[in-house]
Structure 1
Amino acid sequence: MNASHADKLAELRTILDASDNIVFFGGAGVSTESNIPDFRSAGGLFSERVGKRELSPEEILSHTFFMQHTEEFYDFYKNKMIYKDAKPNPAHLALARLEQAGKLKAVITQNIDGLHQQAGSREVLELHGSVHRNYCMSCGQFFPLDAVLESAGVPKCSRCGGIVKPDVVLYEESLDTGVLEKARRYIEQADVLIVAGTSLRVYPAAGLIQFFRGKHLVLINKSPTPYDHAASLVIHDSIGKTLKACLT
């Protein structure tokens, strides 16, 4: 570890120690450390053959594809988007500890895996929904993840026979305005905003950063983002390793 990196960790430790109004905003990079791939990254998922066609994950995970090719959607979704055995990594655990200490007010996440809650975080705003919530499109009956995974083909409602849809935001669908508004309020009121594991290029989620008016914008990401110039502290390293080092 070079001196400049050690200095950055020391600065982050000082920032965390001094604040009791921290908000964390995280993307796919938080979960890649739990071995959940980010299909937008170089090591993620590329095109997928569906019948005779080569489709991108973005095409398969669209509302149109879900409605028109539901069985193919679920084949991809169950095999490539669900990581039931994934466990919280040091980043998830560190954030849960910060919340328990009364310092972290909320986790805002673009991830759909539920690992923040599994780690113990209570105030988690899921911008893109969760694989753990699934609803019948006809009657609204709730189904857990296992009901989707154990179904043959397209999961159907045990009550009315309707198609069960994951409570995740697909491409072409809008984010929940209530969740977005709550996230905006947390960011507006925060003293410290930690943004990690996201390219900050996917809107409208990335646009939330503009509402921050606090003292310290901290970016933790392995690659540069469009907001690096505006941050008070930028650390290009593992999120889990960084947060763990600052809390020990």
Structure 2
Amino acid sequence: MSIEQAGKLIAEAQSALFITGAGISAASGIPTYRGVGGLYGDRGTDEGMPIEKALSGPMFRRSPELTWKYIHQIEQACRGAAPNAAHVALSRLEARLPRSWVLTQNVDGFHRAAGSRNVIDIHGDIHRLHCTGCTFTEVVQDYAHLAPCPRCTSCEEVLRPDVVLFGEMLPMAKLEVLQRELDRGFDVVVSVGTSSLFPYIAEPVLDAARHGTPTIEVNPEPTVISHAVALRLPMGAVEALEGIWRIVERKP
């Protein structure tokens, strides 16, 4: 299946949902372990526990300094990275299509930085910090100035990034936006650079496929949704989305 076919589907669409995962940020140098990627692989932490436990909501409440230790490592590995051509292509597609949304699992904030406005960052954004004890919020470029376990300047309670830690619920407000847009329907649903392991990531694609809506997957490797999509592009996000944009751009 070709980029040309995918581009024509999107060029003829009035609405599109793009679902993105770690693969779209790989070209920016972001590791791909569960969204923060080759940082840990199957290796445990210095404390001998799985990284998922160290980066969990219960651990943050019990030992925030431990969770912050690994949040800092993740941010350090991502520091200095910027949106790549795939993010830019999606922002251009949003400007071109009557209705276009991005549902992303990534916490790097690259979709908005590249110009996309209709973004559901379902797992949050590592650049947004908020206080666990008051209403203080802050947007930071990086964590270079932060203490190992930063505290609020107003109330001295611990700050945390606005991200969903393991074992925490997804934000209800974002789920409501997602459901609202899914209820409106899309002409095409595109999965980009995600293994689609979470039900809320896989189901919009699978549901669209069940109802005959065109579906596209961009991923070098097969995933759990590969059997269901109408078009599969076994390639990286930059190659696919830049190619799709060039086709859409040609449409009068």
TM-score by length of 2: 0.87
User: Could you give the per-residue CA deviations for residues 9-45 of structure 1, whole angstroms, max 9, x where no partner exists?
Assistant: 1101211211121110111111112111111498452
Structure 2 counterpart of 1:74: 68
Query: SS state of the match for residue 19, structure 2?
Result: strand
Are 1:150 and 2:145 matched, yes or no?
yes
Structure 2 counterpart of 1:237: 235
User: Could you give the per-residue CA deviations for residues 122-171 of structure 1, whole angstroms, max 9, x where no partner exists?
Assistant: 11101001112111111120022358541222110011111111110001
Superposition RMSD in Å: 2.0
Kept after mapping to 2: 8 A contact 1:187/1:193: no
Query: What amino acid does structure 2 have at the position aligned with 1:77?
Result: I
Structure 2 counterpart of 1:3: none
User: Could you give the per-residue CA deviations for residues 163-183 of structure 1, whole angstroms, max 9, x where no partner exists?
Assistant: 111110001100012212321
TM-score by length of 1: 0.89
Structure 1 counterpart of 2:203: 207
What is the rounded CA distance, in whole Å, between the counterparts of 2:49 and 2:80 in structure 1?
A: 27
What is the rounded CA distance, in whole Å, between the counterparts of 1:233 and 1:210 in structure 2?
A: 13
Alpha-carbon spacing, 1:210–1:232, altered in 2? closer, same or farther (3 Å): closer
What is the rounded CA distance, in whole Å, between the counterparts of 1:40 and 1:187 in structure 2?
A: 25
Which has the larger displacement, 67-76 or 8-17?
67-76
Kept after mapping to 2: 8 A contact 1:132/1:144: yes
Q: How far is the alpha carbon of 1:203 from its aligned partner?
A: 3.5
Alpha-carbon spacing, 1:69–1:203, altered in 2? closer, same or farther (3 Å): farther
Which has the larger displacement, 202-211 or 81-90?
202-211
Structure 2 counterpart of 1:112: 107
Give the counterpart of 1:194 among 171, 190, 193.
190
User: Could you give the per-residue CA deviations for residues 70-103 of structure 1, whole angstroms, max 9, x where no partner exists?
Assistant: 1121121112245231111111000000011135
Are 1:225 and 2:223 matched, yes or no?
yes
Aligned length: 240
Query: SS state of the match for residue 171, structure 1?
Result: coil
1:134-173 pair list within 5 angstroms: 134-146=129-141, 148-173=143-168
Identify unmatched segments of 5+ residues in structure 1. Answer: 1-6
Kept after mapping to 1: 8 A contact 2:217/2:233: yes
Query: What amino acid does structure 2 have at the position aligned with 1:244?
Result: E
Query: What amino acid does structure 2 have at the position aligned with 1:54?
Result: G
1:33-182 pair list within 5 angstroms: 33-40=27-34, 43-46=38-41, 47-50=43-46, 53-82=47-76, 83-146=78-141, 148-182=143-177
